[in-house]
Amino acid sequence: MKIEPQPSRDVESPYAWARLIVSLMLMTIGGAGMYSVTVVLPQIQAEFGISRSDASLPYTLTMIGFGLGGILMGRLSDRFGVLAPIVVGTLGISSGFMLAGSAGSMWQFNLAQGLLIGLMGTAASFAPLVADTSQWFTRRRGIALAICMSGNYLAGAVWPPIMQHFIDTVGWRQTYLGIGVFCLFSMLPLALVYRRRPPSTPAATANTHSRPLARFAQEAARSDPARPLGLSPGALQVLLCIAGVACCVAMAMPQVHIVAYCGDLGFGAARGAEMLALMLGLGIVSRLLSGWISDHIGGLRTLLLGSVLQGVALLMFLSSNGLVSLYVISGLFGLFQGGIVPAYALIVREYFTPKEAGARVGTVLMATLFGMALGGWMSGAIYDLSGSYHAAFINGLAWNALNVSIIGFLLYRARRGPGPAGLAVGA
């Protein structure tokens, strides 16, 4: 039976807001796959008798799967509707947790994390839900997307302490099995909300959210889409991707290793899980606040501000090892870095033509996920070589400095205006 598109009156209707809340819930539940391996890292290392870098590999594989799966699940959603990837993702993440929880070797655990939890599971609870939300809102599209995209941070605030409690009580294997069962029986009923197809009207698809950026609109407005910031589109894309990798390599150090770091300092894994929850919980506040800030100062300045403050927090981690100070710095880190990744999407919208925005945003976000994956593994490898996280924090600061340098260069070109010189990199 053919399903007809819903009338435009459904746009920003009570149903649209209810659907947004369900998307937030699904992203929060599905986000368990992103943060579970950071909590069980010490247990995995001890049980399988492996190095810290090898214990960090499942996180890297999960993030790679998450990035690649976003493309796969997005195409599945475009062709069959958002319900299809949600169902596939639910089956993937639930079976992934169950198989990982019963893994008899590290390669089995890695396969379950990367393929089932990352590629098929968590990926289905992010990009397809963001794309679906954008179709149900026009005037309030920005805040709706901010609420929806906060789900993965909310997952980081909720899941680590819950998981740590059950790991301490029944062990990591039983905890993984329990999460798999919970995902199956909670996500499938929520998926029924998505049986109604999105509106398909000009009112629903027009980009009415875009509005001038106060004092700095002229910078983007005078940029020629054929030569954004005086560069070729390909050159700007490459620079944004390098910046995305760099900032997220730095970002991954505390997010992936804070639990293990607290264990090394003698504070226990439970304190580390609480710090991770605090970090990501305040990241929600940062994500929403950065949307408001970017409306006033633009995407490049928002990204530069977040990157500089992230570097300050990393420097504070480097010089502090007290319990109270680590709680404070973890909270500050969350407030500083939560708006960094969304700023990349805004920059693409400001400086590239609308018809290229989808592909270019996806490419830059893939780079940020690769940075998280690389940073999680790299920090573990540096720990294995040096015997402490001191050098890993310095490594994060170096990558963060690279990010600040690139964004500073782009901001300089934006303020100067497009010039005749550009990088000869093709689109």
Query: pTM here?
Result: 0.70
On the question of pLDDT at 384 being above 90, the answer is no
Count of all residues that appear for the chain in the document: 427
pLDDT confidence bin for 354, thresholds 50/70/90 = low
Token pair 């018809």 in the structure block, residue:
355
For the chain, domains (ranges, CATH) are 1-209 (1.20.1250.20), 213-427 (1.20.1250.20)
On the question of pLDDT at 419 being above 60, the answer is no
pLDDT digit string, tens, across residues 181-228 = 999 999 999 999 998 887 754 433 334 444 444 445 445 544 556 677
Cβ count near 325 (within 10 Å): 13
Region 355-373: mean pLDDT is: 72
Token pair 């809340």 in the structure block, residue:
21
Spatial distance between the Cα atoms of 358 and 71, rounded to a whole number of angstroms:
11
Region 275-289: mean pLDDT is: 84
Region 239-254: mean pLDDT is: 92
Tell me what pLDDT residue 207 has.
41
Tell me what pLDDT residue 77 has.
80
Spatial distance between the Cα atoms of 39 and 271, rounded to a whole number of angstroms:
11
On the question of pLDDT at 277 being above 50, the answer is yes
Tell me what pLDDT residue 142 has.
60
Spatial distance between the Cα atoms of 56 and 51, rounded to a whole number of angstroms:
9
Are the beta carbons of 215 and 136 closer than 8 angstroms? no
pLDDT: which is higher, 396 or 426: 396
List beta partners, residue 227: 224
User: Considering Cα of 339, then 146, then 256, then 330, what sign does the dihedral take?
Assistant: positive
pLDDT confidence bin for 361, thresholds 50/70/90 = low
Region 142-165: mean pLDDT is: 82
Residue 426 DSSP symbol: -
Residue-averaged pLDDT of the chain: 82
43-52, 54-63, 211-220, 387-396: range with lowest mean pLDDT? 211-220
Sort 139 into a burial class: Cβ within 10 Å, 0-12 / 13-18 / 19+. Answer: exposed
Tell me what pLDDT residue 422 has.
40
What is the DSSP annotation of 168-200?
A: HHH-HHHHHHHHHHHHHHHHHHHHGGGGSPPP-
Region 294-308: mean pLDDT is: 85
Backbone angles phi, psi at 146, to 5 degrees: -65, -40
28-32, 367-371, 396-400: range with lowest mean pLDDT? 367-371
